[in-house]
Amino acid sequence: MKNFQYQPKIGFSGISNVGTAGNIDAYTLTFSGGELDDTNKDDVNAQNKVKTALSIYTDSDYSNQLGANVIKSVAFAGVEKATGTAAGSAVGSGTVTIELDQTYLQGQGVSNGDTLYLRYSADAADDVLVDASSNDVDPFEVSFTAN
């Protein structure tokens, strides 16, 4: 008989606004199912790979893409699994925080309260966002409210 060990795959779980300062509007993307590998979080090339894999749109058909310069910066961090038995914490997680340029958004006619659409798409071979076992985060789409 073979032993089976469940190996969860990291995936997207949510987006939340984490504040506004100056002309920056920051959002955190949350992942679960595995600890996001952040060993290269200070590497500008790794940050740019994440930034390139993210696109912001003004329509739900994902046809009106905003320019890449709407995303001013990207930061990512893994969260180790918690010790103990807290639900949902047994496998670790991670976050990606993006800072959007409000001046650019306003210049594109985006107002406070408008719905924007984010798409993450990266080739698995590029290992853009992966967990500690090198499982890639699958492409995802999500809507959020501009602030």
| 46: pLDDT strictly greater than 80 | yes
| 48: pLDDT strictly greater than 80 | yes
pTM for the full predicted model: 0.86
Are 65 and 141 in contact by the 8 Å Cβ rule? The answer is no
| 13: pLDDT strictly greater than 70 | yes
Over residues 90-129, the pLDDT tens digits come to: 456 889 999 999 999 999 999 999 999 999 999 988 989 9
Over residues 10-35, the mean pLDDT reads 90
| Bridge pairing between strands 71-79 and 93-101 | antiparallel
Give me the half-sphere count of Cα atoms (radius 13 Å) on the Cβ side of residue 41.
Answer: 14
pLDDT band at residue 89 using 50, 70 and 90 as cut-offs:
very low
Q: Looking up tokens 């789409």, which residue turns up? A: 141
SS3 content of the chain, % helix, strand, coil (to 5): 15, 40, 45
Over residues 17-31, the mean pLDDT reads 91
How many residues in the chain? 147
Does 127 or 70 have the greater pLDDT score? 70
